Amino acid sequence: MTETIRRLLQEHGRLHVPVENLSDDADLYGAGLTPFAAIHVMLALEEAFDVEFPVAMLRRESFKSVKAIKAGLNELQASVARQAA
Q: Average pLDDT of 7-17?
A: 97
Q: How many domains does the chain have?
A: 1
| pLDDT digit string, tens, across residues 21-69 | 999 999 999 999 999 999 999 999 999 999 999 999 999 999 999 999 9
CA 80 – CA 77 distance, rounded (Å): 5
Write out the DSSP string of 44-73.
HHHHHHT----GGG-SGGGGSSHHHHHHHH
Domain span at 11:
2-84
Whether 31 contacts 22, CB under 8 Å: yes
Residue 62 sits in a domain of what CATH number?
1.10.1200.10
